[in-house]
Structure 1
Amino acid sequence: MMKKLAVGSLVTALSLVTIPAAQAVTLDPHAVPARTQITVRHDSGATVSTANSHESRPALSLSKLYLGYWVLKYGAPADKARVEHMIRVSDDNVATDLDRRYPQAIPSIIHEFGLRETHYTGYWGTTTTSTEDVARFTSRIQHDPVATPIRTGMATAAPVAADGYRQDFGTSRIPGVIGTKFGWSDNRRIHASVSTAPGFTVAANTYGDAATHTADVTRAVHNAPGAIPGGSSEAIGARIEHDLHLQGPARQAVRDATRTAANYERQACASANRALAQVTPMRVCN
């Protein structure tokens, strides 16, 4: 009964969601030490980065985004069903198994998305990438239906990962973000994160511990989120689905309602931007 009520509540909640405003995010590259690289990519395609953002560094668990997307697009149904969990808890065992089953996955994504600074070594865990590539890829899949499990996993990232490490650092601390993928080396000496928010994507990588990574990011990246009473429809749907452990028809009803609301958001956003274009180049949303 509670789950049925929750599904009904979701439909009501989604009707109250406002269009996420384009947010006033800024990056001061000069405030970032050489140990850290950061890229902020706006939905318009405009990018602000540190000078070292094209360095190919250890991708850590951010490579699971590349792997997961390929599996969702081309993999077997049973393997597609594992991707959301892999992203949410950063499960290395799932990643290793999928990487072994589909060794062509990451190389294919590198080619498909033109990730020139990403290099697959034959194993997901030693793949290298840049914040430029991570931000570009993550931004491009934000409205791709294929990537819904990835977005859901990022929006409901577990506080503690499968290996016991806390997922609460880096770009996730920027106000307004709605989803994050975290990465860390086995010796905890390298950390990375990528987050999405209405209007932008931000990626960072640090040769240092989690606290250093977070400090470098929050010192240089500033955001003034617009009023978003309920958050985006996808964020609301992902949170309800995860918190109530919905399955079967209830889960599908939530996803259908979420998809419908997201389409309305995009249509309203486009209409608002077209109207504004007659008097100003400003965009109210993306």
Structure 2
Amino acid sequence: MFYSQPSHRAASVRAGAALLACVLGAASLVACSPAHEEDSMAGGSAQTSARKPGPITHRKGQLQLAAVPDSVGQFLKGDESKAITYYRIETGMHMGSTTEHQPRYALSLIKLYIATYVLERGSFEDKYLALDMVADSSDESAAQLFEKYPRSIDAIAKEYGLESTSAGEDWGHSMTSTYDVVRFIVQLMEDDPTHPVLVAMSHADAVSADGYQQNYGTAKLSDVVGSKWGWSDSKDRHSSVSFGENFVVAASIEGSAQELTSYVRKEITGKNLVKGNNLNKEALANPGAVATRLTTSSAAPTATSTTATPAAATSSEPSSSAPSSQPTSRTSASKTSAAR
């Protein structure tokens, strides 16, 4: 059930811009995006008679996604070559890999931060250019906007509390983490479910400005409304972030688009969603037990910090297909060609 095609509808850049015009100028934003009445399968909740708790909200810039320690939900597989983060908006359930905080090349996911900055502080014309950039992933637009707004990435990182995010010498070598991307999208959704950046993601072009297919990774989950993708020039690195009515998920891999899709499908499963929900409920009900377990775990020699800093670049890249769930290195930013 998790392998269905994404529900977002691709549109041309101009068609997307026309629709986004109503987002920028209309009094009613609800009409700009379709209604989604069914519960997201990627949200993973089985039907029960009990009423679900209301959504958990965050202060802008709040560092932690869930009401429990991040490590409670860090049971998904990941290593220095891949990471994944998932958040359920309705219940505050979080799950991810132990590598979800590691800074990695953001690739074109960084355009989400640039676009948000331009929408908040840029010129009228640049706002439309930024939204087109989200939809068609134009590198030319990214370069133009980053040159004009060089503080955009770092300013958004500070505003939204993105600890693993930083600007590079150019936009294509900037850093972020899957955790940061998810927390960023969650904050946009909480602030405005029809935020212009989210609407642009929901009307992403099927083919990017440079001719690359935008339909892989997290976008392959069911009930996805919007997505943004990233890839390196050499196509050996891929990333994506997607959101639905009640969930946000991001993943990154040193590997092909197909490998990223496979990784996402193996980790975001019904079994793991049930496990994540149970762990979240247990941690909320017994915070003392969680604190004790975390203290014991942190004393072990194999413990891994949830906050990572990028290591020095290396000339070799690890295989992206290794399924290990025990990261042997915190290095995630090895030398790469220009990112898309």
Q: What SS class does the counterpart of residue 142 from structure 1 fall into?
A: helix
Letter in 2 for 1:163: D
TM-score (norm 1): 0.68
Change (3 A) 1:22 1:30: closer
Q: What SS class does the counterpart of residue 141 from structure 1 fall into?
A: helix
Look up the match of 2:39. 21
Look up the match of 2:81. 35
List gaps (5 residues or longer) in structure 1: 1-6, 8-12, 225-280, 282-286
Q: Does 1:106 align with 2:125?
A: no
The CA distance in 2 between the partners of 1:178 and 1:146, in whole Å, is 11
Q: Does 1:83 align with 2:121?
A: no
Letter in 1 for 2:44: V
Deviations 1:244-281 (A, max 9, x none): xxxxxxxxxxxxxxxxxxxxxxxxxxxxxxxxxxxxx9
The CA distance in 2 between the partners of 1:147 and 1:64, in whole Å, is 18
The CA distance in 1 between the partners of 2:224 and 2:200, in whole Å, is 14
Letter in 1 for 2:206: P
List gaps (5 residues or longer) in structure 2: 1-21, 23-30, 46-72, 272-284, 286-340
TM-score (norm 2): 0.58
Q: Does 1:133 align with 2:183?
A: no
The CA distance in 1 between the partners of 2:125 and 2:216, in whole Å, is 31
Look up the match of 2:237. 190
Letter in 1 for 2:262: A
Change (3 A) 1:146 1:120: farther
* TM-align CA RMSD: 3.2
Q: What SS class does the counterpart of residue 95 from structure 2 fall into?
A: strand
Look up the match of 1:70. 117
- The CA deviation at 1:176 is 1.1
- The CA deviation at 1:21 is 3.2
Paired residues, number: 217
Change (3 A) 1:145 1:74: farther
Q: What SS class does the counterpart of residue 183 from structure 2 fall into?
A: helix
- Structure 1 segments, 4+ long, off by >2 Å, are 16-35, 143-149
Q: What SS class does the counterpart of residue 249 from structure 2 fall into?
A: strand
The CA distance in 2 between the partners of 1:124 and 1:147, in whole Å, is 26
**Percent of pairs with identical residues:** 33
- The CA deviation at 1:77 is 0.5
Look up the match of 1:218. 265
Change (3 A) 1:57 1:31: closer
Letter in 2 for 1:216: Y
The CA distance in 2 between the partners of 1:223 and 1:212, in whole Å, is 20
Change (3 A) 1:202 1:112: same
Letter in 1 for 2:269: H
